[in-house]
Amino acid sequence: MKTLIIIRHAKAEQGFGKDIERKLTDRGQRNAAKMAALLKEKGYRIDRIFSSNSERTMQTTRIFAEVLRIPGSHIRYFESLYLADVLGITETIEWLREGENIQTLAIVGHNPGVTNFVNDLTHAGLEGLPTSGVAVMEVVMDDWSNFDAAEKRLVETFSPKD
């Protein structure tokens, strides 16, 4: 059994420069720290984080990494996760090499991709993962190379408003 944690980036500035360069607001930074602390409180231990390469997702990732004490060597930024759809997220997960000892993987990305990903794979019917929202999934498999065919189940979701 593996755990996949899907995180939507925190609240970002509106209308300043290029979309990929948008930074987190103060509220977004606080909410990201709050959600990371909640993951820690619930006992989740993230082995790797894969993040979009947008400024807001990288900032969100750094906040989660700081709170959860995840070393920088366990974080990878992917251009392919920037505004990725379900297939793009799946293909990024499949980047993990067979035999890697990763129990829990976190993906930090964007809507609608992250919400569609959770809904398509678990039939959860989420209306939309809010900014800083987290969805925790169980994936029934021994190795990440079997991700596509594995059974997936939504365990819980939470957001800063919970």
Binding positions for substrate are 56
Which residues contribute to the annotated binding site? 56
Annotate 97-144 with three-state secondary structure. CCCCCCCEEEEEECCCHHHHHHHHHHCCCCCCCCCCCEEEEEEECCCH
Rounded Cα distance between 8 and 95, Å, is 20
- What residue type is assigned to position 109 of the chain? G
Compute CA distances 95 → 11, 75, 88, 106, 131, whole Å: 28, 13, 11, 13, 26
- Between strands 104-109 and 75-78, the pairing is unpaired
CA angle 21, 23, 26 (to 5 degrees): 175
